[in-house]
Amino acid sequence: MDGKRSGVARRRRVTVTGVIAAIGVLLLGVSGAAAAPSYPNSMASTGDSITRAYNTGSVAFTDNPGASWSTGTNSTVVSHYTRLLALNPGIAGHAFNDAKSGARMVDLNGQLGTAAGQSVDYVTILMGGNDVCQPSEAAMTSVADFTAQYSNAMATFTAASPSTNVYVVSIPNVKTLWSTLKGNAIARFVWAIGGVCQSMLARPLSTAQTDVDRRARVLQREVDFNAALASVCAAYTQCRFDGNAVFNVAFVASDISTRDYFHPSISGQKKLAAVSWSAGYWGP
pLDDT at 4: 46
Q: Which residues contact 129 (CB under 8 A, 6 or more apart)?
A: 48, 49, 50, 171, 172, 174
pLDDT at 8: 43
Cβ neighbours of 38 (radius 10 Å): 12
In one letter, which amino acid is 268? G
pLDDT at 35: 53
Q: Distance between CA 98 and CA 52 in Å, rounded?
A: 9
pLDDT at 37: 85
**In which element (H, E) is residue 123 found?**
strand 122-126
Q: Distance between CA 236 and CA 283 in Å, rounded?
A: 20
Classify the C-alpha dihedral 225-231-234-235 as positive or negative.
negative
Q: Per the confidence metrics, is the pTM higher than 0.85?
A: yes
Q: Give the count of alpha carbons within 13 A of 144, CB side only.
A: 0
The b/e string for 159-189 (b: 16+ C-beta within 10 A; e otherwise) is eebeebbbbbbbbbbbbbbbebbeebeebbe
β-bridge mates for residue 43, sequence order: 95, 122
Per-residue model confidence as pLDDT tens for the chain (284 residues) = 444 444 444 444 444 444 444 444 444 333 333 355 899 999 999 999 999 999 999 999 999 999 999 999 999 999 999 999 999 999 999 999 999 999 999 999 999 999 999 999 999 999 999 999 999 999 999 999 999 999 999 999 999 999 999 999 999 999 999 999 999 999 999 999 999 999 999 999 999 999 999 999 999 999 999 999 999 999 999 999 999 999 999 899 999 999 999 999 999 999 999 999 999 999 87
pLDDT at 16: 42
pLDDT at 15: 45
Q: Distance between CA 28 and CA 33 in Å, rounded?
A: 9
pLDDT at 284: 73
Q: Look at strands 95-97 and 43-47 and give their pairing.
A: parallel
